[in-house]
Amino acid sequence: AAGVIQSPRHLIKEKRETATLKCYPIPRHDTVYWYQQGPGQDPQFLISFYEKMQSDKGSIPDRFSAQQFSDYHSELNMSSLELGDSALYFCASSSRDRVYFGAGTRLSVL
Amino acid sequence: AQKVTQAQTEISVVEKEDVTLDCVYETRDTTYYLFWYKQPPSGELVFLIRRNSFDEQNEISGRYSWNFQKSTSSFNFTITASQVVDSAVYFCALSELNFGNEKLTFGTGTRLTIIP
pLDDT in tens, A33-56: 999 999 999 999 999 998 889 989
Note whether A41 contacts B37, CB cutoff 8 Å: no
Surface of A (34-63) touching B: CB under 8 A: 35, 41-45, 48, 50-51, 55-56, 58
Contact A74, A21 (CB under 8 A): no
Grade residue B99 by pLDDT with cuts at 50, 70 and 90.
low
Q: A107 vs A13, A39, A87, A90, B15, CA distance in Å?
A: 8, 11, 5, 11, 34
Q: State residue A98's pLDDT score.
A: 77
Q: What are phi and psi of B70, to 5 degrees?
A: -65, -35
Note whether B50 contacts A97, CB cutoff 8 Å: yes
Using one digit for the tens of pLDDT, what is the confidence trace for A47-98? 999 888 998 999 899 999 999 999 999 999 999 999 999 999 999 998 776 7
Contact B64, B94 (CB under 8 A): no
At residue B103's C-alpha, the angle toward residues B56 and B94, to 5°, is 30
Residue type for position B10: E
Grade residue A101 by pLDDT with cuts at 50, 70 and 90.
very high
Secondary structure (3-state) at B14: strand
A chain contacts of residue B91, beta-carbon cutoff 8 Å = 42-43
Q: State residue A1's pLDDT score.
A: 64
Say if residue A23's pLDDT is above 90: yes
DSSP-derived secondary structure letter, A9: S
Q: State residue B103's pLDDT score.
A: 87
C-alpha to C-alpha distance for B55 and B116, rounded to whole angstroms = 36
Give the pLDDT mean for B9-35.
Answer: 95
C-alpha to C-alpha distance for B5 and B27, rounded to whole angstroms = 12
Q: State residue A90's pLDDT score.
A: 97
Grade residue A99 by pLDDT with cuts at 50, 70 and 90.
confident
